[in-house]
Structure 1
Amino acid sequence: MQVQLERALEQVLARNAGEHEFHQALHEVFDSLGPVLDRHPEYVDAAVLERLCEPERQIIFRVPWVDDSGTVQINRGFRVEFNSALGPYKGGLRFHPSVYLGIVKFLGFEQVFKNALTGMPIGGGKGGSDFDPRGKSDGEVMRFCQSFMTELYRHIGEYTDVPAGDIGVGGREIGYLFGQYKRITNRYESGVLTGKGLTWGGSLVRKEATGYGTVLFAESMLRTIGESFDGQRVVVSGAGNVALYAIEKAQQLGAHVVGCSDSSGYVLDEKGIDLDLLRQVREVERGRVSVYAERRGAVYVPGRRVWEVGAQVALPCATQNELDEDDARALVGSGVKVVAEGANMPTTPKAITLLTESGVLYAPGKAANAGGVATSALEMQQNASRDSWTFEHTEERLAAIMRDIHDRCLTTADEYGVPGSYVAGANISGFVRVADAMLALGLV
C-alpha cells in the first residue's frame, strides 16, 4: 500500500502547488496511514484518501469596508468546507495578514481529524481573511465583520456550516458577525456561530476550553510516566486566549509557569506569571508582553522565542511552525518531558522528529487542542435544546472528552503497531472514523 500512498500524495501536492502549510499537514497524516491501508484495502478501492484531501467546497470572496478616515479598504475572505461526512462543517475564522488559501486549507484539513477525535457529530472546515484587527477601532472591526458576513451568511447555518473564532476573532468579532447574520436572515439561529457571549447563546467554559483542554491532555500524558503538573516548570508560547487559559489551568494544577510570549519576544518571570496582570495588559489594554514585563519587574527578551527558557512542560499556543528544530534541541537540553500543542501545527516536522527520538512525550494539536471545538459542539447542543449548563458540568464534559481522546490515541497507536505515538494514534483514529462514514455515504 505504500506505493498507493505515495502516488496519492504526489497527486494531491501537484493539485495544490505552493500551499506549503497544507503540504506539511498532508505529509504528517500520510506518514501515519500505511498500517491502516494494509488492513483496510477498501479505503484504497474507494479513493477515500484522494476524496478526503479535496475540499467539498472552497469559497473566496471580496470584502470591501470603509475605515475611520472614510477610505475604502479591500480584503479577501475565505471559507473552505472540507468534509461533512460526520456532520455540519465546523471550524474557526482567522483574521490575520498571513491568511491565504493554503493556510485555510491546512487548518480545515487538520480540523477534519480534530473534530472526528472529539467523538462529536461535526465535520471539518475553516475560514478567515487577511484583515488585521490589530490597531483597528471597534467601528472599523464592526464594519469589516458586517461586510464579511454579508457574503458568508449564504454559505453557513446550524445544519450546514458553523464557524467559530480563531486568531484575531474573539468575542467582539463573533458578536458583530452574529448581529449581521441575524439582521440579514431575520432569524435568531444561535447555533450558527459558536464562541458567543454568555448573555446571547454562548456556553460557559467555551473561552477557556482550548487552553484548559490542552493542559488536561498534557496532564494525562504526565500520568503515563507517573507524574502530574504539581511543581512542574512550564513555558507557554503566545499570550492570547489559548495561552492565557493554558496558564490558568496549569497554575490551578500546581505548575510553576515562568514564560509566555507574543510576536515581538518573550517574558521570563521566575516568580511565576501573574495572570491577573497579564490579562489586564493583553485583554483590557491590548498591550504587548513587554508592558507586562515592565510592570511586573520580569525579564523581557525581544526578538527571541520562549523555548530557550528551560522547562519540563512546553505548551506551544501561538501559531503554526513556531517551534523549530533548534527550539526543540534547546527544550530537550533543558530536560523537557512533555510538549502538547495548544495551537495548530506549531511544531515543524524536524522538531517533532527530534523530540520523539529524544523520548519526549509529544502530542499534536489535532488531539491536544481539540477541547475548543469539543466545547463548541457542546455549545451547539445547548443552543439546540434552548438550555444552559453550569460551568462545573461543562468543564466535566470537557475533561472527559480530553481523557477519552488521550486514551484513544494510545489505544489506536498500540492497535496499529506504533505504541506510544500520539501522532500516529491521532491521525489513524481520526482518519478511520471519517473514512468509514465516507464509505457508508457512497461516492459523494
Structure 2
Amino acid sequence: MSNSYDKIASRDPNEKEFLQAVHEVFESVKIVLDRNPEYRKASILERIAEPERIITFRVPWMDDRGDIHVNRGFRIEMNSAIGPYKGGLRFHPSVTLSILKFLAFEQVFKNALTTLPMGGGKGGSDFDPKGKSDAEVMRFCQSFMLELQRHIGHNTDVPAGDIGVGGREIGYLFGTYKRIRNEFTGVLTGKSLNWGGSLIRPEATGYGSVYFASEMLATRNETLKEKTCIISGSGNVAQFTAEKILELGGKVITFSDSSGYIYDEAGITREKLKYIMMIKNIKRGRISEYTDKYPDAVYTPLDSSLDYNPIWDHKADCAFPSATQNEINLKDAENLIKNGVYVVSEGANMPTMPDGVDLFIDKKILYGPGKAANAGGVSVSGLEMSQNSMRIKWSREEVDNRLQQIMRRIHRACIDAAEEYGTPGNYVNGANIAGFVKVADAMLDQGLV
C-alpha cells in the first residue's frame, strides 16, 4: 500500500486534499488487499486513484458592464466501473484540481455505498456566483455548458449541483444543454420540480445525515429526541439537517457561514429556521443578520488568528459539520469531546482533518464519515435519474421512504464491513471497505480498462 501511495504522492505532490482522501482509503483497505491478493495483482489501488479522464477548459463570459472575464472549468470523470459518472458541479473561488479530484475520489465510494448504479465524478469552476446578477450567472453558465456538453450525457456523465450551484444555475446549465443538443434528457439532477426534478432533492443531504445519525444512535438504543446539536454551515445541507433534527425532537443551537457563527442557547425553532432560510435563500445575506431579529443569540465573527473554531466549543450531544472540507482540526475535535459530543455525522465532504478523525475513532464515539453520512444527496439524485428514465414522478413520501431505506442500507454496509475485517464500530473503515470492494470487483470483472 505504501508503495502505491508514494507513487501517487510523488506524481501529484501539491494536491494535498486529494492525497488526504487517498491516504485515508488506502489505510482502510490494507487488510482487504491482504485477504484478496487479486486486487494487488490487478493494480486496483493505482487504477482507482487515477481519474479515467480530466477535462480542463477556459470559460470566458461578459459581465453587465460589458467587461470580459475568464474562469477555469473542470470535470473529473473518476471511475465508471458501476455506472455513469455522477457528482456535483462546484462554483467557488477555492476550486482547484486537487479539491475536485478529492471530491471525485470520495464520490466513487459514496456512490457505491448507495447501492445505485452510479460511478464517481466531480466538476466546477473558480467562478464565484456571489454578488453576480442573474444575467451574469446565466452568461457564465451558458459559456460553461458550451464546453461541458461535449463530455456529459444521461448514460455517460450526469452532473448535479454543489456549493455555488443551486436551482438557478442548474436551470441555466440545463437550458443551454437542451438548446445545443436538441434533446430533453436527465443529463443534470437537481432540476426544478416542474421540469424533471425530484421531490426531497434539496433536502436530501441534510435529511440523510440525520437519518445516518439516527441509525448510529439506534445501536445504543437511543434517538435524537432531546439531543442538543451543533451545526456548521447555513446552506441547504445545514438548513435541512436542522429541519429534520427538529422534526425528530432534537435541539439546534448553531449555524455559521464564512464570516462567523451564531449561537442560540434557547434553540433554533422552526420559526427561527424559517428566518435563516429567508436570509440565506432569498436575501443571500449573512448569518449575522439572525441577531437583528433574535438579539438573545450571540454572533461570533470569524477570527483567523485562532487555532480552533469556537463553534465546536459548546456543550452538546451531536455535531453535524455541514460547511466545507477540513473545518474540524484536532483541537476542535478535542473541544467537541470535552463538551460531551459523542455523535458526529458529516454533512460536508471530509470536514474533519485526519488527526481529528483518529481522535474520534480512538474515543469510540459514533462518527459517521462524509462518504457514508452525506450520501443522501447523491442517493436522491440517483432516484431523480430513475424517475427521468421512466418518465414518472414519485410522491414526497415515497422519495423520503426510499432515502431512509438507502441510508439504513449504507449504515448496515458500514457495520458489516467493519466487523468482517476486524474493526467493529469503525465507520471509517466500514465505509471505505464496503465502497472499495464493490468498485474493485466491478473493475476486475471488466478487465484492464
2:53 to 53, 57, 78: 57
**Alpha-carbon distance between aligned partners in 1 of 2:180 and 2:419, rounded to the nearest angstrom:** 51
Q: Any residues of structure 2 matched to 1:381-420 within 5 Å, and which? A: 381-420=386-425
The answer on 1:24 being equivalent to 2:23 is no
The answer on 1:230 being equivalent to 2:225 is yes
List structure 1 runs of 4+ shifted beyond 2 angstroms.
none
Give RMSD over aligned pairs: 0.7
Aligned to 2:306: none
Q: Which stretch shows the higher mean deviation, 390-399 or 15-24? A: 15-24
The residue type paired with residue 293 of structure 2 is: R
2:7 to 11, 16, 21: 11
Aligned to 2:335: 330
CA deviations on 1:290-341 (whole Å, 9 max, x unpaired) are 0012212211011153112221100000100001111111100101010010
Secondary structure, counterpart of 2:253 in structure 1: strand
**Alpha-carbon distance between aligned partners in 1 of 2:151 and 2:343, rounded to the nearest angstrom:** 40
Q: TM-score, normalised by structure 1?
A: 0.98
| CA displacement at 1:359 relative to structure 2 | 2.5
The answer on 1:300 being equivalent to 2:299 is yes
Secondary structure, counterpart of 1:330 in structure 2: helix
| CA displacement at 1:173 relative to structure 2 | 0.4
Secondary structure, counterpart of 2:59 in structure 1: strand
The residue type paired with residue 272 of structure 1 is: G
The residue type paired with residue 80 of structure 1 is: I
The answer on 1:351 being equivalent to 2:349 is no
**Alpha-carbon distance between aligned partners in 1 of 2:17 and 2:125, rounded to the nearest angstrom:** 16
**Alpha-carbon distance between aligned partners in 2 of 1:286 and 1:194, rounded to the nearest angstrom:** 23
The residue type paired with residue 285 of structure 1 is: K
Task: Note the residue ranges of structure 1 that are not aligned, 5 or more in a row.
Answer: none
1:213 to 204, 208, 212: 208
The residue type paired with residue 54 of structure 2 is: Q
Q: Any residues of structure 2 matched to 1:135-214 within 5 Å, and which? A: 135-189=131-185, 191-214=186-209
**Alpha-carbon distance between aligned partners in 2 of 1:50 and 1:359, rounded to the nearest angstrom:** 31
The answer on 1:366 being equivalent to 2:361 is no
The residue type paired with residue 61 of structure 1 is: F
Pairs aligned (count): 439
CA deviations on 1:252-277 (whole Å, 9 max, x unpaired) are 00001011111111100122211111
Q: TM-score, normalised by structure 2?
A: 0.97
Aligned to 2:260: 265
1:48 to 22, 40, 44: 44
Q: Any residues of structure 2 matched to 1:242-321 within 5 Å, and which? A: 242-273=237-268, 274-297=272-295, 298-303=297-302, 305=309, 306-321=311-326
Aligned to 1:84: 80
Secondary structure, counterpart of 2:423 in structure 1: coil
Secondary structure, counterpart of 1:155 in structure 2: coil
Aligned to 2:345: 340
**Alpha-carbon distance between aligned partners in 2 of 1:326 and 1:49, rounded to the nearest angstrom:** 32
**Alpha-carbon distance between aligned partners in 2 of 1:237 and 1:442, rounded to the nearest angstrom:** 43
The residue type paired with residue 438 of structure 1 is: M
Secondary structure, counterpart of 1:31 in structure 2: helix
CA deviations on 1:323-381 (whole Å, 9 max, x unpaired) are 11111111001010100100000000011111221222111100000000010000000
Aligned to 2:92: 96
**Alpha-carbon distance between aligned partners in 2 of 1:179 and 1:66, rounded to the nearest angstrom:** 19
**Alpha-carbon distance between aligned partners in 1 of 2:340 and 2:437, rounded to the nearest angstrom:** 35
Secondary structure, counterpart of 1:75 in structure 2: strand
**Alpha-carbon distance between aligned partners in 2 of 1:364 and 1:84, rounded to the nearest angstrom:** 23
Aligned to 1:38: 34
**Alpha-carbon distance between aligned partners in 2 of 1:441 and 1:134, rounded to the nearest angstrom:** 44
Residues 219 and 229, structure 1, Cα contact 8 Å, conserved in 2: yes
**Alpha-carbon distance between aligned partners in 2 of 1:286 and 1:379, rounded to the nearest angstrom:** 27
Residues 340 and 368, structure 1, Cα contact 8 Å, conserved in 2: yes
Secondary structure, counterpart of 1:318 in structure 2: coil
**Alpha-carbon distance between aligned partners in 1 of 2:441 and 2:301, rounded to the nearest angstrom:** 49
The residue type paired with residue 161 of structure 2 is: G
Task: Note the residue ranges of structure 2 that are not aligned, 5 or more in a row.
Answer: 304-308
1:67 to 59, 63, 73: 63
The residue type paired with residue 426 of structure 2 is: S
CA deviations on 1:142-184 (whole Å, 9 max, x unpaired) are 1000000000001000000000000000000000000000011
CA deviations on 1:425-444 (whole Å, 9 max, x unpaired) are 00000000000000000000
**Alpha-carbon distance between aligned partners in 1 of 2:396 and 2:69, rounded to the nearest angstrom:** 41
**Alpha-carbon distance between aligned partners in 2 of 1:354 and 1:10, rounded to the nearest angstrom:** 25
**Alpha-carbon distance between aligned partners in 2 of 1:116 and 1:205, rounded to the nearest angstrom:** 21
Residues 259 and 309, structure 1, Cα contact 8 Å, conserved in 2: no
